């Protein structure tokens, strides 16, 4: 690993910026081309981190930002090559993308580099409308104990580093607190604990997502569904939702990976979607809400296996699930589906060349047909509900099991 690319004895510059009585705050770190052109140049490697922490001492201001800059060349941390733009509510740090190859350390064995240690200090009790961080090459770390509120949105974009929310022993002290939180990471990972208010959207291109989710109350002024979006192009997604205290509201979830696995425990409200092209899907789903309202589950995996357990309703554990609709699709992977006794409805399943095994007391098979040696279709009925469970698999095995009292032998 090359975390500290600049020597500790390099040229150092320390700066501080205060933001007084601001309702919005945003910090951006970007690379700029500068005025140097031609082929005789060297790239500058810029690394470091951004720490968001509680201001334990009084600065007389809502937010203070400290910048500790280390450079292999004194010009790299000077106003000649470094740009800083400050407004009442924003701070932008512009670092050079390259420097002339001639002169200073650029012509020595030491490659041009900058190490940035940035700290955003937030005073206790601070209330902001919006909070944003846009970092091109710096990682972002939120530390425990933060005592602030964001009434509208949090947006964090990190392009080639990671985002981490440090765990806190006190569950009520979560470090990101906003109605809408959007995180976009290009080549780093996302870890930590996040509250789900109205929107929690996390996207990575090539990094993993490994988080815990704490559902929160809806706004009294504007009641909206709690929407969870987790997507990764080539990383895995792992998410566990706390079910200790679940506010009464509508929950919706959309989880997608292209080539990574999905391993989640989620609240199922009006809609849940799980999709993976080349990864395994493992999920525990906990219905929550009005059992008399239609809800939908959709899962599709192209070449990985699927293992989904649907639990009884958290909000009405003994009431039947009569209007829960689900579709489970797979091309070449196996399907392993487990259902609670409370579910009622129709089961329709097809396979092209894979086997079907059913172990669900109370499910009555009314049709089991084959077309030649390949395609097979089964139809079953359980209870009097309007729900529907549909599964389709081309070449993988299907195992459907459930809880309930047996009224006939459903083994096939």
Exposed / middle / buried, residue 111 (Cβ in 10 Å: 0-12, 13-18, 19+): middle
CA 241, distance to chain mean position in Å, is 12
353-391 pLDDT, tens digit per residue, is: 889 999 999 999 999 987 666 789 999 999 999 999 999
Task: Give the pairing type, strands 209-215 and 190-196.
Answer: parallel
The CA distance from 235 to 240, in Å, is 17
Separation CA 236–CA 26 (nearest Å)? 29
Q: Residue 38 has what pLDDT? A: 59
- 178 occurs within a structural domain: yes
Q: Enumerate helices (H) and strands (E) in the chain, giving the number of each.
A: 0, 33
Name the residue range of residue 137's domain: 1-188
Length of the chain as a residue count: 412
Whether residue 202 is contained in a domain is answered as no
pLDDT score, position 412: 39
Into how many domains does the chain fold? 1
- CA-CA distance, 359 to 362, in Å (whole number)? 10
Contact yes or no for 317/380 (Cβ under 8 A): no
The answer to the question of residue 236 being in a domain is: no
Tell whether 74 is covered by a domain: yes
Q: Answer whether residue 136 is part of any domain.
A: yes
Question: What confidence score (pLDDT) does residue 173 get?
Answer: 43
**How does 333-365 read in b/e, with b if 16+ C-beta sit within 10 Å?**
bbbbbbbbbbbbbbbbbbbeebebebebbbbeb
- Residue 351 belongs to a domain: no
Q: Is residue 277 part of a domain?
A: no
- The predicted-structure confidence for 45-86, as pLDDT tens digits, reads as follows 899 999 999 998 777 899 999 999 998 888 788 877 889 999
**Taking 90 as the threshold, does the pLDDT of residue 169 lie above it?**
no
The answer to whether residue 140 scores a pLDDT higher than 50 is yes
Mean pLDDT of the chain: 88
82 falls within a domain? yes
């Amino acid at each position: 690993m090359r975390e500290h690319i600049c020597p500790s004895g390099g040229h150092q510059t320390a700066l501080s910026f205060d933001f007084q009585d601001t309702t919005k705050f945003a910090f951006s770190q970007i690379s700029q081309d500068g005025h140097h052109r031609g082929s005789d140049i060297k790239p500058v490697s810029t690394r470091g981190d951004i720490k968001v922490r509680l201001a334990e001492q009084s600065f007389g201001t809502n937010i203070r930002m400290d910048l500790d800059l280390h450079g292999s060349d004194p010009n790299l941390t000077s106003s000649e090559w470094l740009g800083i733009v400050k407004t009442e509510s924003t701070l932008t740090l512009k670092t050079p993308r390259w420097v002339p190859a001639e002169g200073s350390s650029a012509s020595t064995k030491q490659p041009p580099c900058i190490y940035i240690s940035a700290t955003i200090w937030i005073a206790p009790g601070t209330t902001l409308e919006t909070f944003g961080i846009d970092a091109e090459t710096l990682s972002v770390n939120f530390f425990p104990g933060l005592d602030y509120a964001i009434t509208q949105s949090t947006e964090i974009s990190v392009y080639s580093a990671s985002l981490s929310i440090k765990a806190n022993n006190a569950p009520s002290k979560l470090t990101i607190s906003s109605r809408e939180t959007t995180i976009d990471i290009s080549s780093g990972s996302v870890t930590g604990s996040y509250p789900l208010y109205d929107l929690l959207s996390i996207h990575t291109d090539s990094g993993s997502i490994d988080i815990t989710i704490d559902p929160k109350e809806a706004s009294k002024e504007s009641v909206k569904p709690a929407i969870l979006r987790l997507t990764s192009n080539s990383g895995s997604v792992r998410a566990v939702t706390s079910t200790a205290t679940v506010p009464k509201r509508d929950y919706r979830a959309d989880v997608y990976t292209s080539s990574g696995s999905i391993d989640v425990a989620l609240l199922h409200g009006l809609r849940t979607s799980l999709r993976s092209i080349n990864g395994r899907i493992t999920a525990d789903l906990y219905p929550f809400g009005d059992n008399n309202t239609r809800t939908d589950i959709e899962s599709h995996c192209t070449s990985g296996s699927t293992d989904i357990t649907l639990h009884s309703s958290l909000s009405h554990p003994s009431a039947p699930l009569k209007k829960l609709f689900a579709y489970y699709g797979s091309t070449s992977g196996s399907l392993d589906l487990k259902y609670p006794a409370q579910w009622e409805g129709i089961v329709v399943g097809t396979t092209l060349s894979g086997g079907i095994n059913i172990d669900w007391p109370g499910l009555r098979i009314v049709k089991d047909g084959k077309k030649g040696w390949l395609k097979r279709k089964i139809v079953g009925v359980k209870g009097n509900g309007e729900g529907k469970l549909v599964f389709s698999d081309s070449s993988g095995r299907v195992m459907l099991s459930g809880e309930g009292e047996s009224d006939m032998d459903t083994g096939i």
